[in-house]
């Protein structure tokens, strides 16, 4: 059977000021997975995402997204990738629609109709014209996911997406991820330090040790 890996990470390593924070990590994520990247705070989860997205230069190893090596074919690799790394950032004085329009303008092949579709997906269509600074934290997280969906991604990276949310907000984000994976066929890569979170939303998990010896499946 032909393998259908959206993400392949092979033996990646990273050090800062002589301290190794990512040590020989390897794993694969298949199309349709909701993959949980589980590890305690300080274990290198966010650094790993930044390496995968090409935001941090890796010292050794290889990353492929949608079959493209990020070193050799960076723009092809990330063309259909969405991500929220740490907290999503918005222009608070603009509406949700205008925030999404600014991102859509960076993707000339994305039609304007995509914005209303995405707002419908994340349950914000009725608040599309409201300025973002009036949004709750949960609504901002959903808008962050909307931003990540603009370019019709095959895989979306979410860094601690339920962090700081109240119980209702957590439920809404979980349900949104599950629905998008099932209805839109989007693969999700979700970092968290919460085992219960992984159990609720993920079908596969990689465990990052604090001692930086790698990921276990």
Query: Which residues neighbour 66 within 8 Å (Cβ) at sequence distance 6 or greater?
Result: 6, 76, 77, 79, 80, 81, 154, 155
Decide if 106 is inside a domain. yes
Decide if 14 is inside a domain. no
CATH number at residue 136: 3.40.50.300
Domain count, the chain: 1
- Condensed to tens digits (0 to 9), the pLDDT of residues 128-179 reads 999 999 999 889 999 999 999 998 999 999 998 888 888 888 999 999 999 9
Decide if 17 is inside a domain. no
Q: Which residues constitute the domain of residue 85?
A: 31-57+79-216
CA-nearest of 199, 212, 164 to 48 is 212
Q: How far apart are CA 125 and CA 108, in angstroms?
A: 23
> With left for phi above 0 and alpha for psi between -120 and 50, is residue 127 left, alpha or beta?
alpha
Mean pLDDT of the chain: 88
DSSP secondary structure, 113-126, as one string? HHHHHHHHHTT-GG
State the pLDDT at residue 217. Answer: 38
Decide if 111 is inside a domain. yes
Query: Which residues neighbour 173 within 8 Å (Cβ) at sequence distance 6 or greater?
Result: 138, 141, 142, 145, 161, 162, 165
Decide if 157 is inside a domain. yes
pTM above 0.85, yes or no: yes
- Tokens representing 103 are 């991102």
Decide if 208 is inside a domain. yes
Decide if 8 is inside a domain. no
């Amino acid at each position: 059977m032909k393998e259908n890996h959206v993400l392949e990470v092979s033996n990646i390593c990273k050090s800062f000021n002589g301290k190794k924070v990512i040590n020989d990590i390897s794993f694969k994520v298949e199309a349709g997975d909701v993959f949980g990247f589980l590890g305690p705070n300080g274990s290198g989860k966010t650094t790993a995402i930044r390496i995968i997205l090409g935001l941090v230069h890796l010292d050794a190893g290889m990353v492929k997204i949608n079959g493209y090596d990020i070193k050799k074919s960076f723009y092809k690799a990330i063309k259909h990738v969405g991500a929220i790394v740490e907290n999503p950032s918005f222009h608070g004085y603009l509406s949700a629609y205008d925030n999404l329009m600014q991102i859509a303008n960076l993707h000339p092949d994305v039609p304007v109709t995509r914005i209303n579709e995405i707002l419908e997906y994340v349950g914000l269509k009725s608040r599309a014209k409201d300025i973002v600074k009036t949004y709750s934290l949960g609504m901002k997280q959903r808008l962050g996911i909307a931003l990540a969906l603009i370019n019709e991604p095959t895989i979306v990276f979410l860094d601690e997406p339920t962090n700081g949310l109240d119980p209702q907000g957590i439920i809404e984000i979980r349900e949104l991820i599950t629905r998008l994976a099932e209805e839109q066929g989007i693969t999700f890569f979700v970092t968290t330090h919460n085992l219960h979170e992984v159990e609720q939303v993920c079908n596969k998990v990689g465990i990052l040790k604090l001692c930086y010896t790698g990921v276990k499946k």
